């Protein structure tokens, strides 16, 4: 037995006419805008961002953070100059036989290494803040290459390393530093070597930032590791006058290896073995900490 209720043609047309049919409601009770749905459904969706463009977007985001953070800008510009002035004119006369001018020739390459290594911690601080605030959870919902959220800030910090190096070298030349044989090629090669080493070291602070999710913890851990490595090295003074047990540590310290290679490149006396040793140590840091960082990023965020 049929239970269909007959309807007149006028009623049927009214029921199918979009102008007279009331808008249906969505899950939240809001009326559905059919015109908006029609516009959104037109054409093909744009492809998701590629690896390069996604990394550049995160690089730009990290650079904006640096621009709006006076502390980070100060550490790149003012801190290197204070370090150079303080150690050259306060301790240079006592540490070098030739006075402050002689000490500057020895000290500038070392303090250049020290300055760049000290600012590597900022990438870990920024990523720990993102992880703590849940920003990475939003990134994971976007159709983009996931490692770009890590690689972009690391590339932005590499630009900061170059900026700090230019500031330090410019002020050093004003004070009287001379390359003594290295020339422009030696300076460029030295800066590139420092940037490569700092980039590989930054993966360690990135890993610590993702694990701790606390900016203060990143700062404390990085300073606890960097201070002994930089001071117990040949950055400030020659290890010839150090006791045997301390000199043994200085001789195997990677910071000492980097400072020696940079002095050689800028002075024109670099050996291939010194440069290759630094590159091997940087590659080892990258091989260890980069996979661990990406694993933590995928599993804990």
* Euclidean distance between CA atoms 46 and 23, whole angstroms: 29
Rounded Cα–Cα distance for residues 86 and 80 (Å): 10
Q: Which residues of 230-244 are buried (b: 16+ CB within 10 A; e: fewer)?
A: bebbbbbbebeebee
Alpha carbon 37 to chain centroid, angstroms: 41
Gap between the Cα atoms of 243 and 136, Å rounded: 48
Q: Is the dihedral of CA 46, 52, 219, 73 positive or negative?
A: negative
Q: How far apart are CA 100 and CA 95, in angstroms?
A: 9
Place of tokens 């800030």: 153
Strands (E), the chain: none
Q: Distance between CA 192 and CA 125 in Å, rounded?
A: 24
Whole-angstrom distance, CA of residue 194 vs CA of residue 80: 15
Q: Quote the mean pLDDT of the chain.
A: 79
Task: Report the DSSP beta bridge partners of residue 31.
Answer: 25
Mean pLDDT is lowest, of 79-93, 192-206, 262-276, for 79-93
Alpha carbon distance 164, 71 (integer Å) = 14
- Are 135 and 152 in contact by the 8 Å Cβ rule? The answer is no
Residue 97's pLDDT is: 65
Tell me: pLDDT of 187 over 80: yes
**Residue scoring higher pLDDT (119 or 45):** 119
Q: List C-alpha distances in Å: 277 to 35, 115, 246, 267.
A: 65, 21, 21, 18
CB 112 within 8 A of CB 262: yes
121 burial class (0-12, 13-18, 19+ CB within 10 angstroms)? buried
Residue 251: phi and psi, rounded to 5, are: -70, -25
- 194 pLDDT band, cuts 50/70/90, is very high
What b/e sequence results for 147-157 when a residue is b if at least 16 CB atoms lie within 10 Å of its CB, and e otherwise?
Answer: bbbbbbbbbbb
Helix (H) or strand (E) holding 72: helix 70-86
Backbone angles phi, psi at 147, to 5 degrees: -65, -15
More confident site: 27 or 146? 146
Residue with more model confidence, 238 or 145: 238
Distance separating alpha carbons of residues 145 and 133, to the nearest angstrom:
20
pLDDT level of residue 18 (50, 70, 90 thresholds): very low
pTM of structure: 0.77
Q: What is the mean pLDDT of the segment spanning 29-35?
A: 60
Q: Specify the DSSP class assigned to residue 239.
A: G
Tokens of 225: 């590791």
Whole-number pLDDT of residue 241:
81
How far is residue 117's CA from residue 240's CA, in Å, rounded to a whole number?
24
């Amino acid at each position: 037995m049929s239970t269909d209720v007959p309807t007149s043609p006028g009623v049927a047309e009214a029921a199918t006419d979009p102008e007279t049919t009331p808008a249906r409601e969505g899950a939240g009770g809001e009326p559905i805008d059919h015109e908006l749905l029609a516009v959104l459904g037109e054409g093909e969706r744009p492809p998701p961002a590629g690896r390069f463009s996604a990394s550049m977007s995160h690089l730009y985001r990290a650079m904006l953070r640096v621009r709006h953070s006076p502390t980070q800008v100060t550490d790149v510009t003012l801190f290197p100059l204070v370090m150079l002035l303080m150690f050259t004119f306060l301790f240079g006369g006592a540490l070098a036989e030739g006075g402050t001018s002689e000490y500057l020739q020895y000290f500038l390459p070392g303090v250049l290494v020290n300055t760049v290594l000290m600012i590597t911690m900022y990438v870990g601080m920024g990523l720990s803040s993102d992880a703590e605030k849940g920003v990475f959870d939003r990134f994971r919902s976007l159709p983009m290459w996931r490692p770009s959220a890590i690689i972009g800030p690391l590339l932005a910090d590499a630009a900061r390393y170059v900026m700090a190096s230019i500031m330090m070298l410019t002020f050093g030349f004003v004070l009287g530093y001379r390359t003594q044989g290295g020339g422009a090629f030696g300076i460029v090669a030295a800066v590139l070597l420092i940037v490569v080493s700092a980039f590989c070291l930054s993966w360690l602070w990135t890993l610590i930032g993702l694990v701790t999710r606390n900016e203060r913890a990143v700062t404390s851990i990085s300073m606890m590791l960097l201070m002994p490595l930089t001071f117990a090295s040949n950055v400030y003074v020659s290890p010839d006058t150090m006791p045997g047990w301390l000199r043994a540590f200085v001789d195997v310290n990677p910071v000492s290896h980097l400072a020696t290679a940079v002095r050689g490149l800028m002075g024109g006396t670099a050996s291939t073995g010194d440069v290759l040793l630094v590159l091997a140590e940087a590659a080892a840091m990258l091989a260890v900490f980069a996979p661990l960082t990406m694993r933590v990023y995928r599993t804990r965020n």
